[in-house]
Amino acid sequence: MAKRLLRWTLAAMAAAFAACGYLYLRLPDVRVLRTENPAITAFMELRAREADQAGKKPQQIQRWVPYERISPSLKRAVLVAEDAAFFQHEGIDFDEMGKSFETNWKKGRLARGGSTITQQLAKNLYLSPSKNPVRKIEEFLIARRLEAELTKRRILEIYLNVIEWGDGIYGAEAAARAYFQTSAAAIGPDESALLAASIINPRRYSPGRPSNFLLRRQRLIRQRMGDVDPPAPTAVPGSVGGLL
């Protein structure tokens, strides 16, 4: 019995190793992102297919802006809301994952996410919103590759330019202009906190029609932002609590 169990264990380990190797070989080459901006993402393509299936015309409102032309307030708000330890981890925040698992286990549902900004970018660029285990492994591997090939500054720049901020609205510049009639460079702390608050589900919690839940979340983010600029890519950020 013990020998049979050992054989099963070794076979399972070998299968898992082979599966990881196969997934690794299929990973996208992210090195192109060092110098090129993605014209479209997997998430944008998904939304276009959904619009086609609903008989609607897909729309993609996006205007790319460099890192320097995005308000420090918006960078800070997004870091506070989505990934307080962004400049400290290497793509995966295991402490946050542990907290998320504990919260979800107690509540018996997916009440809290543990994905870093790098993981979210991996999903947006190359994957789907599916939560199946294989896709999650791909997300982990791509996130680690992004961290190995790109600077933190570049990862945050791409993220802020491609994430969804409403129906057909992608990136900080499009969101700032759509909701506040200003540029991503000029957006203030309160507006930044509202945009950051909506990232969890911008089509449900629109910054243009903020619900009470969204306004509460905005206030919490604003309180935690302070008046400090986001840390430089090589600096260690101050202690900032993450949000659910």
- C-alpha distances in Å from residue 91, one per residue of 65, 122, 230, 243: 23, 10, 18, 18
- In 3-state terms, what secondary structure has residue 104? helix
Read off the pLDDT of residues 169-218 as tens digits, 9 standing for 90 and up: 999 999 999 999 999 999 999 999 999 999 999 999 999 999 999 999 99
- Are 180 and 191 a contacting pair, CB within 8 Å? yes
Residue 49 contacts by C-beta under 8 Å, 6 or more apart in sequence?
none
Read off the pLDDT of residues 14-72 as tens digits, 9 standing for 90 and up: 544 444 554 555 699 999 999 999 999 999 999 999 999 999 999 999 999 999 999 99
Q: Which CATH class is domain 43-51+60-225?
A: mainly alpha
Q: Where are the domains of the chain?
A: 43-51+60-225
Q: Six-digit token pair at 221?
A: 């983010």
- Are 164 and 48 a contacting pair, CB within 8 Å? no
- Rounded to whole angstroms, the Cα distance separating 97 from 119 reads 12
Read off the pLDDT of residues 58-107 as tens digits, 9 standing for 90 and up: 999 999 999 999 999 999 999 999 999 999 998 888 666 556 445 444 44
Percent composition of the chain: helix, strand, coil (DSSP 3-state, to 5): 55, 0, 40
Query: What's the pTM?
Result: 0.81
Q: Six-digit token pair at 76?
A: 């800070």
